[in-house]
Structure 1
């Protein structure tokens, strides 16, 4: 009988499930009680992010200067557009052919995309322009040959 203490109270209660703790009501209740509440959203949790730009992002964060990633030149975008049109493909058709989103093709053609060798290689093979997208000399050469064909 020495072990039983009538002054201590033991409360047996189940812990709420994860779904309950994520609900808006549970968050408001915890805030009313004065408990610490941390809310954060998962970024791109259920999406398939294939081409994430991780190149030098930590370096860009540390720098105080105005730095940015190099973009695809407009000349390259024009070459992609001409090659795509010569094949009779729309942006969506080309994107489907290389297993990318149509938005990526639009970014490359408008010069807003950050160059990705994997995507550039797929585009080159799909439109049949091997190594035309590599340097500006090849671009100028392509423009001369395509004008001569018209």
Structure 2
């Protein structure tokens, strides 16, 4: 490196690149065009069209806020729990073994058998596959049939 070159400057770090300036007035855009700098003009998405108020999400949230009662979550019910425990006992499977087969905790199986569990479609699907019975939709308790040939 030449020690006598005092005019050149090497910038390292964050300040290397110049920052883009955002101007909202037409005067700033015109001034930038006169000086020859690169100008990009972009229209804002849905500017001036009041699209934020066309959804009914705010109405739904306001209705929920006005309601004073607390709605309890839906549970699986005692009938599904009885079916799960009956089929599990017919196949001589313990709750811990069933939990291990579907990769869940024993407490989850216990909640489903007592009917206190909040329905989870993934867990119900795993239980259906292991037990071989239908636990969702119509025909609850029927044996699962194989694929059509």
Give the structure with higher Rg (CA): 2
TM-score scaled by structure 2?
A: 0.48
- Of Structure 1 and Structure 2, the greater helix share is in 1
TM-score for both structures, normalised by structure 1:
0.48
